[in-house]
Amino acid sequence: MSASRALEALTRVAYLGPAGTFSEQAALGYFGSSIDKVPCVSIDEVFRATSAGAADFGVVPVENSTEGVVARSLDLLLNTPLNIVGETSLLVRHNLLRKEPSATGVKAVVAHAQALAQCHTWLSEHLPQAERRPVSSNAEGARLAAEDASLAAIASTRAASEFGLHVVAPAIQDDAHNRTRFAIVAHPHTHPTPQPTGHDCTSLVVSVTNRPGAVHDMLVPLKAHGVSMTRFESRPARSGQWEYFFYIDIEGHPDQPEVGAALKQLREVCAFFKVLGTYPIDVH
């Protein structure tokens, strides 16, 4: 009975699957191995499963040190009720995987579009004739490569073991220090904002009316209260009016007086204001 209760208490974590993805690796690194895995076919499905309660938490990529933001994750953070409650980052090593022990005769390389972009230089030099075919995840590419000897995948060594593939070429990413940052998302009704730790980040998305000096005015409250901004990204608002949403990360927790005051003043100058989450900073 105690074993049964332990199983029932496992934390359900949704991530981009199948087995062997970097998202799965990030989930295991953050939560540990004793979780109820909920692999999903897309980032959209991770948000859907977590919003619907099929998972307690979701793990989604939000930024890569080589290719920048993961736009779909940012769009879904804006348009779903989930909040960011944590973050983790991985040193991402991409490997060329294949059913055969060499790269001879590879007709296509299958991987997530981000991975293909992160390995552009190596692929151009070593497999210039091979088609680059985007798929839903690197692990899905590994699964396809395991079924078709003409394909090669770009994925982790974990995926190689999972699908019985050879590591034909290790660490083919263009940047040796290539990292991906993942957000841990949850529904605020079941997982409220974490308490201050002294090393926190607050993520928000805002928009301002299209007028001269509007973006400058938006940043003034942060400067006035001595709050440091660590990220600033813009995304089209899809209104057809050349309007934008701005994704901002700031250091600190809203419970800190200077951060709370800056956010209050910032809200007053914005046409749209949404806190995406406050969470401890990943020290890696």
Tens-digit pLDDT string for the chain (284 aa): 344 444 567 999 999 988 888 899 999 999 998 999 999 989 999 999 999 999 999 999 998 887 788 889 999 999 999 999 999 998 888 999 999 999 999 999 999 998 999 999 999 999 999 999 999 889 899 999 999 999 999 999 989 999 999 999 999 999 888 888 999 999 998 888 888 898 999 999 998 887 777 788 888 999 999 999 999 988 887 655 557 899 999 999 999 999 999 999 999 988 899 999 999 987 65
Mark whether 180 is an active-site residue. Answer: yes
Fold of 200-280: Alpha-Beta Plaits (3.30.70)
Helices vs. strands in the chain: H and E counts, helices first: 10, 15
Q: For 2-91+179-186, CATH number?
A: 3.40.190.10
| Local structure of residue 137 (DSSP, 8 states) | -
Which helix H or strand E contains 147, and what residues bound it?
A: helix 138-147
Q: What contacts 106, CB < 8 A, 6 or more positions away?
A: 98, 127, 130, 150, 151, 152
β-sheet bridge partners, residue 197: none
Query: Which of 57, 182, 245, 246 is the catalytic position?
Result: 182
Q: List the domain boundaries for the chain.
A: 2-91+179-186, 95-169, 200-280
| Cα–Cα dist 59/38, whole Å | 10
pLDDT tens digits for range 46-64: 999 999 999 999 999 998 8
Mark whether 273 is an active-site residue. Answer: no
What's the whole-model pTM score?
0.81
CATH number for 95-169 (one of 3.30.450.40, 3.40.50.360, 3.40.50.300, 3.40.190.10): it is: 3.40.190.10
The yes-or-no answer to whether 95-169 and 200-280 have a common fold is no
| Cα–Cα dist 120/245, whole Å | 30
Query: Which of 21, 50, 88, 180 is the catalytic position?
Result: 180
Asked if 56 and 216 count as a contact pair (C-beta separation under 8 A), the reply is no
